[in-house]
Amino acid sequence: MIEEEGIVLELKDGIAIVKAQRTTSCDKCATKSVCHGVSETDMVVEALNPINAKVGDRVHISIGAGTVIKAGALVYLFPLVAFIFGAVMAQAYSERIVPDWNKDFVSAGAGLALLILTYAALSFYGNAARTRKNYMPIILRVV
């Protein structure tokens, strides 16, 4: 589990808006671009609030390492695999589908098309995942 310390800024519907400091673990995180930064040293995170922390409380928030790894794989690995798959498949079948075209250009175009489609699909998935509580950090305790 990855733990950070922060201050509760706002409460709404069982969710706390927590301001936390970016640490060295943030620099190594595969999903750091997903965090909402308010400055170079601070970020704002929505976290589940099962312990009913109050505004102004200093709290420990946590997110499972598996969730971070899964997010990193979705953001980086899945698009790469889609790009390579599109390029290889187009290279193999382009002569049958468009025999007059250059195989390399068809391969590059198919790879880029799948890459763009993958990022579009991830965008829709990301918007849907924001409402799922199993992807959100959770407040463990008040310090």
* pLDDT tens figures, 99-138: 889 999 999 999 999 999 999 998 888 777 766 777 788 8
Judge contact between 135 and 64, C-beta under 8 A.
no
Average pLDDT, the chain: 85
Nearest CA-CA partner of 7 in 17, 18, 22, 23: 18
> Which pLDDT band holds residue 35 (cuts at 50, 70, 90)?
low
Whether residue 89 is predicted with pLDDT greater than 90 in this model: the reply is: yes
HEC string of the chain equals CEEEEEEEEEEECCEEEEEEECCHHHHHCCCHHHCEECCCCEEEEEEECCCCCCCCCEEEEEECHHHHHHHHHHHHHHHHHHHHHHHHHHHHHHHHHCCCCCHHHHHHHHHHHHHHHHHHHHHHHHHHHCCCHHHCCEEEEEC
Stated pTM of the model? 0.65
Contacts of 73 (CB under 8 A, 6+ apart): none
